Amino acid sequence: DGGITQSPKYLFRKEGQNVTLSCEQNLNHDAMYWYRQDPGQGLRLIYYSQIVNDFQKGDIAEGYSVSREKKESFPLTVTSAQKNPTAFYLCASSNQGDRVEQYFGPGTRLTVT
């Protein structure tokens, strides 16, 4: 089955620790995206990557980092510099170009205490 996997589904961390969220896709998509979702705010773009070894900041990149060493993988690290990291994180992928839909993974709910 083709799709996007995110792991783990739930993640708990102590304040001050970095944490890495996994995102893998087998859809052969060039582009991948990370979003943050908070209640009543829709989805906000953190980082995106149009091609391997290249990525760009989205609207709320501060306190986050990514890498894109393989086409199928786009891990997100939430660093201790992120002031309010507790949220639902969604990964997506798409073909390149304008007017294309994105396909979403099931999400990871991160709780930092």
Partner 1 sequence: AQSVTQLDSHVSVSEGTPVLLRCNYSSSYSPSLFWYVQHPNKGLQLLLKYTSAATLVKGINGFEAEFKKSETSFHLTKPSAHMSDAAEYFCVVSGGNYGGSQGNLIFGKGTKLSVKP
- Contacting partner 1 (CB under 8 A), which of 16, 41, 84, 113? 41
Contacts of 16-19 with CB under 8 Å at 24 or more apart are: 16/80, 17/80, 17/112, 18/77, 18/78, 18/79, 18/80, 19/77, 19/78, 19/85, 19/110, 19/112
Output phi, psi for 83, to 5 deg: -70, -30
Q: Does 11 bind partner 1 (CB under 8 A)?
A: no
22 belongs to the binding site for partner 1 (CB under 8 A): no
Tokens found for residue 102: 């994105």
Among 11, 27, 31, 52, binds partner 1 (CB under 8 A): 31
The interface mask with partner 1, positions 49-78, x = CB under 8 A, is: -x-----x-xx-------------------
Stretch of residues binding partner 1 (CB under 8 A), selected from 17-25, 36-44, 63-71, 78-86: 36-44
Q: Output 19 or 90, the one with its CB closest to partner 1.
A: 90
Q: Which 8-state DSSP code applies to residue 70?
A: B
Nearest to 105 by CA among 12, 31, 3: 3
Rounded to whole angstroms, the maximal C-alpha distance in the chain is: 40
Binding site for partner 1 (CB under 8 A): 4, 6, 31, 33, 40-43, 45, 48, 50, 56, 58-59, 88, 90, 92, 94, 96-107, 109
